[in-house]
Amino acid sequence: MFPAEFRIRDVAIRPATLLAPMAGVTDTVFRRVIRGLGGCGLIMTEFTSSEGLAREAARTLHYLDFQPDEHPIAAQLFGAKPAVMAAAAALVQELGFDTVDINLGCPAKKVVKCGGSGLLRDLPLVAEIIRAVRAAVTIPLTIKIRSGWDECNIVATEVARLAEDLGVEAIAVHPRTRIQALTGLADWSIIRDVKQAVKIPVIGNGDIHSPMDAERMVAETGCDAVMIGRAAATNPWIFRQMEQYFLLDRGAGNAVPGNNCRDASRQAIGAAAVYDEPSESGRYELLSQYFRSLIESGMPDALGKMKHFACWFTHGVHNGAQLRHLVHSARTPAEVLDRVDSFFAAALTAG
């Protein structure tokens, strides 16, 4: 059965689902969209440079903007200098975040040079960073890791045990190596191995595209929660869909995965009714709301974010390629809004 809740010390995460930190995606506007749609237990900021925070760079500080309705919320930090990471974590606590997370998983070249998955090649330094951050904050501390640098250096279980010993209170595991980046299949057996190696909560991440994938991950690995990244950018409704899907488990007498009672319930109501798919009007409402909120937020690169988000989101829209072209060729945020409004007005009239 999919867990209804898990806890990171005194922070209750309900449902047991997390929005992964994604550069250029999980800003405060997108996070509030996810919160508004429902079904996500914990949201996370974009990964944020500890060095940038140390310099008090305005652009870096902007990554930590959040609103009261985003709680519970975690800030994720990256960096390779223990003292700098500790100072950044202290700032995160001062700003009112519920938890702080250390990024040990990002595969991007510019991040690997100064943190992220590059640290998986230097576990003594990982230990120094965790000790420094743990000493700097009283809020719960978590980490997010990859399985290792490459197939010859799978260190997820070793890192998990090390982290638990040093006071880390939950660990998210993306079971691809840094060399894999986002290619190939995530090896969920690594999540299972980590879960069996530690007592702290383990969060599974990777290749969850539907509620059924999340159900299967929990069944196969025993993980305490699931984290969703790219699928949430293309389908922001996925957390609400998961909530609808798993309500059937509890409505069918706390059935376990594969239980005939639950399966019969789904067959009785029909597969299409297991969870809601967004309508074209719903897609229009969300896209329009998100774009308008970007403009109202005063983000310095609202136009760029509109175009970035359009690359992700419009793959679920009928004639999405046409809409992407309209958005990408626009020169101002106002022009983007006009084109989105006109596109959906024609589409909804034709439909």
Instruction: Specify whether the CB–CB gap between 192 and 202 falls below 8 A.
Output: no
Q: Catalytic site residue 261?
A: no
CA angle at 137 for the pair 136 and 142, rounded to the nearest 5°: 110
Low-confidence ranges of the chain (pLDDT < 70): 248-273, 351
Q: What is the pLDDT of residue 138?
A: 98
Alpha carbon distance 120, 126 (integer Å) = 7
Give me the pLDDT at residue 285, please: 93
* pLDDT tens per residue, range 194-228: 999 999 999 999 999 999 999 999 999 999 999 99
23 secondary structure, DSSP code: T
pLDDT value, residue 251: 56
Tokens found for residue 72: 């519970």
What integer pLDDT is reported at residue 298 of this predicted model? 81
Distance CA 200, CA 198 (A): 6
Annotated catalytic residue within 40, 106, 261, 311: 106
Taking alpha carbons only, the member of 259, 232, 227, 262 closest to residue 247 is 262
CA distances from 188 to 47, 196, 227 (A): 23, 13, 13
Predicted TM-score (pTM) of the model is 0.90
Residue 282 belongs to what H/E stretch? helix 280-297
Q: CB–CB of 171/200 below 8 Å?
A: yes
Q: Which pLDDT value is given to residue 260?
A: 41
Q: How far apart are CA 96 and CA 248, in angstroms?
A: 36
The DSSP code sequence of 57-79 is -HHHHHTT---GGG-SEEEEEE-
Could you tell me how far CA 266 lies from the centroid of its own chain? 28
